[in-house]
């Protein structure tokens, strides 16, 4: 009779671990990353807004042609 070597990496994961990984993925994909993305974009918009309040809006310098 032949002996079959089973590698731990190829064996299926227990259902409890698979469920925890699925929950972690869902929390990251639909919870943390969207909130982080909105925060980054909102923070950048706030930074540009403050910059324009202090230094003025973009465009040609006021004064025009002489």
> Three-class SS of residue 55?
helix
pTM value is: 0.61
Question: Residue 10: what pLDDT?
Answer: 63
Is the pLDDT higher at 37 or at 10? Answer: 37
Question: Residue 43: what pLDDT?
Answer: 98
For CA atoms 51, 53, 58, 60, the dihedral sign is negative
pLDDT grade for 11, boundaries at 50, 70 and 90: low
Is the pLDDT higher at 1 or at 23? Answer: 23
Short-list 48, 44, 46, 65, CA closest to 56 = 48
User: Helices in 1-66 by DSSP H: which ranges?
Assistant: 15-27, 33-55
pLDDT tens across 50-60, in order? 999 999 888 88
């Amino acid at each position: 009779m032949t002996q079959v070597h089973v590698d731990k990496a190829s064996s299926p994961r227990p259902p409890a671990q698979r469920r925890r990984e699925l929950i972690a993925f869902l929390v990251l994909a639909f919870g943390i990353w969207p909130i982080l993305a909105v925060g980054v974009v909102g923070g950048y918009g706030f930074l540009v807004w403050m910059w324009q309040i202090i230094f003025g809006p973009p465009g040609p310098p006021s004064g025009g042609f002489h």
